[in-house]
Structure 1
Amino acid sequence: MHLLEALLLCLAACGLSEAHTYCSVKGKNIAPEGKASQISVYHGRLGIGTAQSAIDGNREGVYNLGSCILTRSESNPWWKLDFHKPRKVGAVVLVNRIDCCWERLMGAEVRIGNSMDNKNPVCGTVTEVGPGLVTTFCCQGMEGRYVSVVNPGYEGLMNLCEVEVYPEGSPRPCL
């Protein structure tokens, strides 16, 4: 067995998976430098499921442990990060929920730009979902004040457990 095959089997056995890794994730995660918001909060009074939970540096995928966001049932639900000034983005990493409902993220788009209405250019679209799936989108230096996750045409709840944003990096081929 080749080393890569052994590594992939080990990751699968541990329940860890990653999709769409097309670029290097270099440098420090800059997401905590921004201010997060979302269309609504499902459990607002309980203090969980809020926008800031997605940039707390914790990839925990169990919602009740407090590190995931959850909106109410909405048309075109969204989550957004405001850096207050344009930033060049090399990669955006999304971590899906592990305990249930991971399919809610299917079709969500990562958008980057300077328009606060979430109609910025698309860096990538979620085309694969699964429990705790980590998806990396290479944004190749797209620049913008806002990084948002929007699910256009979807009616329902939106959840995700971490959003990481990395400064412009060097593209590399998939493994």
Structure 2
Amino acid sequence: MMGRLLTSLLFLGALGAALVNSYCVEKGKNIALEGKASQSSVYHMNGNALNAIDGNRDGAYRMKSCILTKSDYSAWWRVDLSEPRKIGAVVVANRKDCCWKRLIGAEIRIGNATKNQNPVCGTITEAEPGLVTRTCCAGMVGRYVSIVLPNREEILNLCEVEIYPEGIEKQCV
């Protein structure tokens, strides 16, 4: 009897921990809109860095709301928030019209170094046309938030990056 009780309590504790870890902390406005964006290169003038912080999640490149780099080794996109900020969640909207698999393996990095060697908040492991991915960053602090395709030569494309400070809990997707 005591063994079952202990097992049940351990299970409920593990379940509770899993539920806590499945929530992002986000509140308030998207602070990425206040930043200055840059990227490793620009494939075409319609794919510039500012497109990822224009407030538009439209995943069609022709709508001029996505970024597109050349085929760079460790291609990257980055926003400078002007000062270190505490980050609760980073939301990335993928392209929907083509090439959406390119985002698989992209790392979200947060820190104060201008190079893309900052600590990793998370890695994008799923990609579908137009998929919006929310990554919980648990209060990581940094001036720069980067999306990097590490250690491979590839074009980076994405259509929106939103950055939220800590606040109200919302379930991660």
Per the normalisation by structure 2, the TM-score is: 0.84
Q: Summarize the Cα distance change of 1:63–1:145 in structure 2 as closer, same or farther, 3 Å threshold.
A: same
> Among residues 108, 111, 115, which one is paired with 2:109 in the alignment?
111
Instruction: Please tell me the residue identity of whatever aligns with 1:71.
Output: T
Aligned counterparts of 2:22 and 2:43: Cα–Cα separation in 1: 31
Summarize the alignment of residues 23-172 of structure 1 with structure 2, pairs less than 5 Å apart: 23-44=24-45, 48-171=46-169
Q: Summarize the Cα distance change of 1:133–1:36 in structure 2 as closer, same or farther, 3 Å threshold.
A: same
- Once the two structures are TM-superposed, the CA of residue 168 in structure 1 deviates from its matched residue by 1.4
- Once the two structures are TM-superposed, the CA of residue 169 in structure 1 deviates from its matched residue by 2.6
The Cα offsets for residues 26-53 of structure 1, whole Å up to 9 and x where unpaired, read as 2110101110000000113xxx100000
Instruction: Please tell me the residue identity of whatever aligns with 1:158.
Output: L
Per the normalisation by structure 1, the TM-score is: 0.83
- Percent identical among aligned pairs is 63
The Cα offsets for residues 65-124 of structure 1, whole Å up to 9 and x where unpaired, read as 100000011110000000111011000000000000001001000000000001001000
Rg comparison, structure with higher value: 2
SS in 1 for 2:23: coil
Alpha-carbon RMSD across the aligned residues, in angstroms, is: 1.7
Is the Cα–Cα contact under 8 Å of residues 26 and 170 in structure 2 kept in the other structure? no
Ranges in structure 1 where 5+ consecutive residues have no aligned partner: 1-19
Higher helix share: 2
**Runs of at least 4 residues of structure 1 off by over 3 A?**
170-175
Aligned counterparts of 1:173 and 1:158: Cα–Cα separation in 2: 27
Q: How many residues align?
A: 153
Ranges in structure 2 where 5+ consecutive residues have no aligned partner: 1-20
